[in-house]
């Protein structure tokens, strides 16, 4: 991978950017870019660090400034090293450019320009106020970290996470249709954690009729985060079969799309402000999103159980020969790609960067 070191960049800033990239990878993929930041004293000593932990939480820059203050450091005259240009936008949080100015920072070294129109351009007010800005430090690494998020911006669609729980032989239900529970408590709790990070969670009408899910995000205590925007993910159903009037999924925050067209659903959800969609099934819905080529990551929970002639996790993919099979690779950018959860294993996968 090409490494870019702009003229005038110090060794300490280069090391801090590598650390900031490591921190950024810990963040939540999907609705926002992955961003990390490290605050340096004039002598290059690290004063604070932070990363963006998800929508509505402090951005990386204010998090690093807060970390420095918590350790008794004055941020005036410091250098902020950050993996993405500080934003210049007021959303759930204020502009990072203003936070840097308010802290009295003297220099900002960032990796890549922000390509998100409403948030871009934070370097301009910083430079206008006399803050020195250095661009391009490890820019390619930052772009690779956020390439799928960037593509979703360009395509005007949500980032799509696919979640599946299956047996060792790739089945999501036994031959009699029973499927509760293939995985154990730890895996299901982890699945609820992932669900809580999404803007919306989607299933097909077949899953609604078979399982009558609530699709709320519940911690181990079993208490719902609550339905509707702002308190939990939107609950989305797609398909032609009617949803029963007494279905558990109904209520505030429930959306239904009478279509099997994946592109149509993604466009409608994007128009409603959904930037991160979690697809939970059933199998035919999962396969439809995979066939459309819009799945950006997969969390696959595999249980050590064999079901034989049960329902396959991903039917009808249209793969006629091995050469045509879509390839996936382990994704450890945001943490371990393989995690043991009680008796089960979770795989975190991304589309392969190489051809089959």
> Which burial class, exposed, middle or buried, applies to 165 when counting CB atoms under 10 A from its CB (0-12, 13-18, 19+)?
buried
Closest CA to 328 of 301, 293, 303, 304: 293
- How far is the C-alpha of 347 from the C-alpha of 46, rounded, in Å? 34
CB atoms within 10 A of CB 213: 17
Q: Lowest-pLDDT range, 40-49, 53-62, 121-130?
A: 53-62
Burial class (CB in 10 A: 0-12, 13-18, 19+), 16: buried
Q: Which residues are catalytic?
A: 61
Q: Is the pLDDT of residue 173 over 50?
A: yes
Domains and CATH numbers, the chain: 11-145 (3.40.140.10), 156-351 (3.40.430.10)
Task: Supply the pTM of this predicted model.
Answer: 0.77
* pLDDT range class, residue 200, cuts 50, 70, 90: very high
In this predicted model, what pLDDT tens digit does every residue of 313-352 receive, in sequence order?
A: 999 888 889 988 889 999 876 668 899 999 999 999 999 8
Residue 254 confidence class, pLDDT cut points 50, 70, 90: very high
Whether the pLDDT of residue 310 is over 60: the answer is: yes
* 17-31, 89-103, 129-143, 224-238, range with the lowest pLDDT: 224-238
User: Which residues partner with 329 through β-bridges?
Assistant: 350
What does the alpha-carbon distance between residue 82 and residue 38 come to, in Å, rounded to a whole number?
6
What pLDDT, in 10s, does the model give residues 13-24? Answer: 999 999 999 999
Q: Which helix (H) or strand (E) holds 81?
A: strand 79-84
- CA torsion 139-143-145-150 (nearest 10°) is 150
Task: Record the tokens describing residue 85, joined without a space.
Answer: 């240009």
| pLDDT level of residue 233 (50, 70, 90 thresholds) | confident
């Amino acid at each position: 991978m090409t490494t870019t070191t702009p003229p005038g960049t110090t060794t300490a800033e280069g090391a801090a950017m590598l650390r900031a990239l490591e921190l950024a990878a810990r963040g939540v993929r999907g609705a926002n870019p992955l961003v990390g930041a490290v605050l340096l004293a004039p002598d290059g000593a690290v004063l604070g660090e932070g990363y963006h932990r998800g929508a509505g939480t402090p951005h990386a820059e204010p998090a690093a400034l807060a970390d420095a203050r918590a350790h008794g450091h004055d941020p005036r005259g410091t250098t902020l090293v950050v993996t993405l240009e500080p934003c210049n936008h007021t959303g759930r949080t204020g502009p990072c450019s203003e936070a840097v100015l308010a802290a009295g920072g003297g220099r900002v070294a960032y990796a890549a320009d922000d390509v998100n129109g409403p948030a871009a351009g934070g370097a301009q007010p910083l430079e206008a106020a006399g803050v020195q800005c250095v661009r391009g430090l490890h820019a390619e690494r930052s772009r690779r970290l956020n390439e799928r998020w960037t593509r979703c911006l360009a395509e005007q669609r949500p980032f799509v996470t696919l979640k599946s729980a299956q047996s060792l032989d790739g089945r999501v239900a036994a031959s009699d249709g029973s499927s509760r529970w293939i995985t154990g408590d730890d895996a299901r709790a982890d699945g609820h954690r992932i669900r809580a990070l999404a803007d919306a969670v989607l299933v097909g009408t077949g899953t609604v009729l078979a399982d009558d899910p609530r699709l709320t995000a519940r911690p181990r205590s079993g208490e719902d985060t609550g339905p509707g925007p702002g308190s939990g993910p939107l609950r989305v159903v797609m398909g032609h079969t009617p949803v029963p009037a007494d279905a558990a999924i109904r209520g505030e925050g429930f959306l239904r799309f009478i279509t099997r067209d994946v592109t149509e659903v993604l466009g409608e959800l994007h128009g409603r402000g959904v930037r991160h969609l979690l697809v939970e099934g059933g199998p035919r819905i999962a396969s439809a999103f995979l066939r459309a080529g819009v799945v950006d990551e997969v969390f696959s929970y595999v249980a050590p159980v064999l079901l034989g002639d049960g329902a396959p996790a991903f039917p009808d993919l249209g793969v006629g020969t091995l050469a045509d099979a879509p390839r996936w690779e382990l994704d450890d950018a945001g943490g371990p790609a393989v995690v043991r959860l009680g008796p089960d294993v979770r795989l975190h996968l991304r589309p392969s960067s190489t051809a089959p």
